[in-house]
Amino acid sequence: MKLADTIKQLREERGFLQKQVAAEIGLKPAHYNKLEKGMVEPSVDILDKLASLYGITIDQIVHPENNLPQEVTIEDKGLLEQVKLIQELEEKDRKTVFNIIDTMLTKAKFKDFFNKNIATL
């Protein structure tokens, strides 16, 4: 289902008029109409306002078929324990750990990209 169709369906299921939803989320009715017709894409801010209005998440608007897994299971018990310990750190230290991990992952992805694309030249 297209995003525009989902937005329209959510409104219709709740019995709202387009102008009511437009007023609630701070849009002009003509702009909201274009959202439902798929002529313009909603911003994250608009999706957030729609989600709040309907009492759902942005993900439920974007992925109405709910094709995403509800739960992620970590098979490596040692890794799971480390994640739990990281969660117990003070916020500053926790951010530092995640920054280090992000940096290492970015470096690894760049290295793979370089090897696949540049090394073949």
Q: How far apart are CA 121 and CA 113, in angstroms?
A: 13
Q: How far apart are CA 8 and CA 36, in angstroms?
A: 5
| pLDDT (tens digit per residue) in 56-102 | 888 889 888 765 555 666 677 788 788 888 889 998 998 898 888 88
Taken in order 108, 114, 117, 121, the sign of the CA dihedral is negative
Q: Tokens 């102008």 correspond to what residue?
A: 19
The structure's pTM equals 0.54
pLDDT band at 112 (very low <50, low <70, confident <90, very high): confident
Task: For each of the domains in the chain, give its residue range(s) and CATH number, in order of start.
Answer: 3-62 (1.10.260.40), 77-117 (no CATH)
Strand, helix or coil at 121? Answer: coil
| pLDDT (tens digit per residue) in 13-63 | 999 999 999 999 999 999 999 999 999 999 999 999 999 999 988 888 988
Which amino acid, 76?
D
Task: Judge contact between 50 and 60, C-beta under 8 A.
Answer: no
* CB within 8 Å of 121: residues ≥ 6 apart: none
Radius of gyration from C-alpha coordinates of the chain: 21
Task: Judge contact between 32 and 7, C-beta under 8 A.
Answer: no
* CB within 8 Å of 28: residues ≥ 6 apart: 22
Q: Is the pLDDT of residue 1 over 80?
A: no
